[in-house]
Amino acid sequence: MRTVFIVAIAAAGLSACATEGQREAAILRCHEVGISQSDPQFDLCTRSYALQSNQDALEVTYHRALNATYDKRGLAHQWHGF
């Protein structure tokens, strides 16, 4: 049981990491707001944008799970995002 718990936590931790594409997008966003790689806030900025991207993906997944008609824009109920 302990091994299953450890594996589940490790899998959850890996899925929370940003993909390379998310990291590159976060770097571009930081550059857009004027934070370069030499700034001390750069790591915080890239991490913040990567986490925001993960949060957006989680919200979309959640709403798709709640509403089976999510992908059919004309039929969706109570959700008008993304």
pLDDT in tens, the chain (82 residues): 666 555 555 555 545 566 788 888 888 999 999 999 999 999 999 999 889 988 988 888 887 787 766 566 555 555 555 4
- Enter the pTM of the model: 0.56
Task: Give the angle subtended at the CA of 68 by the CAs of 67 and 69, to the nearest 5°.
Answer: 90
The Cα 8–Cα 77 span in angstroms is 34
The Cα 44–Cα 35 span in angstroms is 10
Structure-block tokens of residue 70: 């999510």
